[in-house]
Amino acid sequence: MNNLASKKQKAGMDLSNQADVREIVEGCVERNSKYQQLLYKQLYSKMMVVCHRYANRPDDAKDLFQEGFIKVFEKIERFNFKGSLEGWVRRIMVNNAIDYYRKNKNKYAMSETLVEAERIPSEDENQGIFDNLNAKQLLELVQQLSPVYQTVFSMYVLDDYSHAEIAQELNISEGTSKSNLSKAKRNLKAMVLEHLQIDERK
Domains defined along the chain, listed by start: 1-103 (1.10.1740.10), 105-202 (1.10.10.10)
Contact between residue 184 and residue 150 where contact means Cβ atoms under 8 Å apart: yes
Distance, CA of 10 to CA of 177 (rounded, Å): 46
- According to the model, what pLDDT value does residue 156 have? 92
For the chain, how many helices (H) and strands (E)? 10, 0
Q: Quote the Cα angle for 48-49-54, to 5°.
A: 95
Regarding pTM above 0.75, the answer is no
Full pLDDT tens readout for the chain, 202 residues = 455 444 444 446 788 888 999 999 999 999 999 999 999 999 999 999 999 999 888 898 999 999 999 999 999 999 999 889 999 999 999 999 999 888 876 655 544 443 343 343 434 444 455 666 677 777 888 888 888 899 999 999 889 899 999 999 988 899 999 999 999 988 888 888 876 665 555 5
For residue 30, the SS3 value is coil
Distances (CA, A) of 145 to 32, 56, 117: 40, 8, 11
